[in-house]
A = this chain, B = another copy of it.
């Protein structure tokens, strides 16, 4: 028998708890955020937008989460590589648009396998990253 690849996937309950933890962090920092979770296949799993958050950040939050899953790294890790003259300059033209600044982070299980990703947009990239990290921490706490 030929073996198949086994992949774990983020569940709806986990995705909702990632959203809730991110919203809590955003409120603590007095920010208005869009938060997206994609699954192991890069497909949208859960999304929410806080009242008054930027409309333009809907797509950015989703694209950050997708970018993090598509390359299994934080979206911000791509930032230095996509600058003019750097190796991945204009990679954003692929995959119907990527976002290569901070705010997207993979969700991993205890073995480091990527199950999906969270993406946050609505403030500075530093704040976006902080709020995404709160979502990731909640995910790890669930899995612990």
Contact = CB atoms under 8 A, between A and B. Distances in A.
Contacts of A142: 1-2
A46 B49 contact: yes
A67 B56 contact: yes
Copy number in the complex reads 4
Q: Most chain-B CB neighbours within 10 Å: which of A70, A82, A109? A: A70
Nearest to A107: B4
Contacts of A15: 48
Interface of A: 1-16, 23, 39-52, 54-60, 63, 67, 69-72, 79, 82-85, 87-102, 109, 115, 124-125, 142-144
Contact of A11 (B9, B51, B115): B51
Cβ-closest 8 pairs across A and B: A41-B41, A56-B70, A47-B47, A5-B9, A93-B97, A92-B93, A4-B8, A2-B142
A15 to B, nearest CB: 7
A5 B1 contact: no
Given A47-B47, A56-B71, A87 B124 contact: yes
Contact of A48 (B42, B45, B82, B90): B45
B58 A44 contact: yes
Contacts of A94: 56, 59-60, 63, 97, 99
Given A8-B7, A88-B125, A143 B1 contact: yes
Contact of A83 (B60, B88, B89, B115): B89
